[in-house]
Amino acid sequence: MKYSAFFLFLCLTWTNCKTPTTASNATQQTVRFAFYNVENLFDIYDDPKTKDEEFTPTGKKKWTEERYQKKLDQLSTVVADLKFPEILGVCEVENKKVLSDWVAHRKLADQNYHIVHFDSPDKRGIDNGLLYQKDHFSVLEKEAIAINFPKEIVEDYTTRDILYVKGNYRGEVLHVFINHWPSRRGGLEASQPKRVYVASQLREKTDAILANNPKANILIMGDLNDETDNDSVAKTLGAAAPDVSTNQYLYNFTQPLDAAGEGSYRYKANWNMLDQIIVSPNMTSGKLRAVKAHIFNPDYLNYLDKKYGKKPNKTYGGPNYYGGYSDHYPVYLEVRVD
């Protein structure tokens, strides 16, 4: 009995000497929000409403069921290795069918991913989409924000809608915008007004949200086809480096990667930080706190170009099939949840 009492005393003393765990530390966790331009995830069927003929078995790219299934397997591997982001924005997907096939893949089927998707007016038929884990996020509102260019900017031109989803994420209202802005085709300067205009349409939406609630949680992700310091992003949208002491309108967590010379896409010898993740100020101090953005580029996502060195391992180059994953790397944001 004496020994039992003595050991009980030691146990109580040791327990009391431990550093106490606060309630906030006990429940705090870090999750990932990610974005991925998946490079032309098409099914194998011809859609008469779009220019998708090359992505069919008899088309120029000879896009077969075998190649389609291989791509789904590759993309599922990436999502698994990203540790199954609870929110995953995607672009260059043809329709809801390809997203449904993707989330039903054996590597993802037990993750309870659900889909938000709208068909966009893009002439090739590529859209934006949102995959989210139903266990943590529930949709409250969703909208395809149409981009109707004024004639003075461009005539007879259509681009992808901005996908907007408002939801309840772990008890917090979260506003998510998935983007795929117009390409640089025709040259950077000639094409820039289109991206500036899309940025202005997004800015109108974020202005309205923040006017109603200055502490709103806003998450902007996408292939913006501009760098973080281009006018469309830095001036029109008002997204700057994540230095909270500067009191910016929005914080671009991929800006430090761009400033360090890194990129999610490589054009010849140049790395471009086209895929970006941007948040509102409350997501640097509230219950959902952005920590750091990363480019996900493990060795298997790369190939070695003889002239330019390491590049994303793409699926196609023109009509040539290389069998890679995508011509873009995914990017992801660490978010601390209290």
Give the pLDDT confidence of 160-174 residue by residue, as tens digits: 999 999 999 999 999
Rounded Cα distance, 201 and 103, in Å: 31
**175 pLDDT above the threshold of 80:** yes
Reported as a single tens digit per residue, the pLDDT across 302-325 is: 999 999 999 999 999 999 999 999
Per-residue CA distances from 48 to 53, 96, 122, 124 (Å): 9, 16, 13, 11
135, pLDDT greater than 90: yes
pTM attached to this predicted model: 0.92
Distance CA 253, CA 113 (A): 25
1 pLDDT above the threshold of 80: no
Contact 261, 271 (CB under 8 A): yes
Give the position of tokens 């310091």. 229
Q: What is the pLDDT of residue 101?
A: 98
* pLDDT value at 300 more than 50: yes
The set of residues, in sequence order, having a beta carbon less than 8 Å from that of 244 and lying 6+ positions away, is: 251, 281, 284, 285
Q: What is the pLDDT at residue 27?
A: 72
Q: For residues 328 and 27, which has the higher predicted lDDT (pLDDT)?
A: 328
User: Buried (b) or exposed (e) across 159-180, using 16+ Cβ within 10 A?
Assistant: bbbbbbbebebbebebbbbbbb
The total of other beta-carbon atoms located within 10 Å of residue 41's CB is 27
Structure tokens given for 298: 């493990």
Closest CA to 46 of 161, 125, 157: 125
Which helix (H) or strand (E) element contains residue 178?
strand 172-180
Q: Are strands 127-133 and 87-93 parallel, antiparallel or unpaired?
A: antiparallel
pLDDT the model gives residue 10: 38
Query: Quick one: 303 exposed, middle or buried, by C-beta within 10 A (0-12, 13-18, 19+)?
Result: middle
Mean pLDDT of 192-204: 98
pLDDT of residue 4 exceeding 70: no
- Structure confidence by residue, pLDDT tens digits, 65-109: 999 999 999 999 999 999 999 999 999 999 999 999 999 999 999
Confidence of residue 15 (pLDDT cuts 50, 70, 90): very low
Which of 210, 288, 281 has the alpha carbon at shortest distance from 252?
A: 281
pLDDT band at 11 (very low <50, low <70, confident <90, very high): very low
**What's the mean pLDDT in 262-286?**
97
Across 37-46, 236-245, 276-285, 327-336, least confident range: 236-245
Residue 259 has pLDDT above 60, yes or no: yes
Q: Of all residues in the chain, what percent carry a pLDDT higher than 70? A: 92
**Phi, psi dihedrals of residue 145, rounded to the nearest 5°:** -85, 105
**Residue 246 pLDDT class (50, 70, 90 cuts):** confident
**Domains of the chain (ranges, CATH numbers):** 28-337 (3.60.10.10)
Least confident of 129-138, 165-174, 204-213, 246-255: 246-255
| pLDDT score, position 26 | 52
Number of H helices, E strands in the chain: 7, 19
pLDDT tens digits along 101-125: 999 999 999 999 999 999 999 999 9
Query: In this structure, what is the dihedral angle of CA atoms 277, 280, 282, 288, given to the nearest 10 degrees?
Result: -30
C-alpha–C-alpha distance, residues 199 and 203, integer Å: 6
SS3 87: strand
Q: How confident is the model at residue 245 (pLDDT cuts 50, 70, 90)?
A: confident
